[in-house]
Amino acid sequence: MSIHSEERWLKLSNNGKHKYLKFFGVLCIVFGVVNGIDAINFFNDPHAYININGVDRNDNEAKLLAFFFPLLMLIVGIFLNLVSFEGVSKANKARDNFWLPFRK
């Protein structure tokens, strides 16, 4: 992340940050659901294999491992959509109070 994009993120209003978190949360949920459906299909197919570090594996542990990442993305997306506007405001205020002694 460049300095300019960090400054732009810091200059967003609380409403803009809240909308950004909601949008990113929806993207995470969509990604988790689409890839989770594929992972479930892989898990139910006995002939499907997962390539892990160049090794083709068709055991249940590898298929379950392939299911954990979409599940994690789904959980992160739900969490980001549950963040309220007041939570964003409190986080901004806490960030400003933390950096206050370091600013001149």
Q: What is the pLDDT along the chain (104 residues), one digit of tens a residue?
A: 455 555 555 577 888 888 999 999 999 999 999 999 988 888 888 888 888 888 898 888 888 888 999 999 999 999 999 999 899 889 888 888 888 888 76
11 lies in a domain?
no
Structural domain span for residue 74: 21-83
For residue 74, is it within any domain? Answer: yes
Q: CA torsion angle for 72, 73, 76, 80 (degrees, to 10)? A: -170
Beta bridge partners, 51, equal: 56
Closest CA to 21 of 7, 39, 9: 9
The answer for 53, left when phi > 0, alpha when psi is -120 to 50, beta otherwise, is left
Structural domain total, the chain? 1
Residue pair 67/40 in contact by the 8 Å Cβ criterion: yes
Residue 48, domain member (yes or no) = yes
Helix or strand or coil: residue 45? coil
**Does residue 72 belong to any structural domain of this protein?**
yes
> Are 28 and 76 a contacting pair, CB within 8 Å?
yes
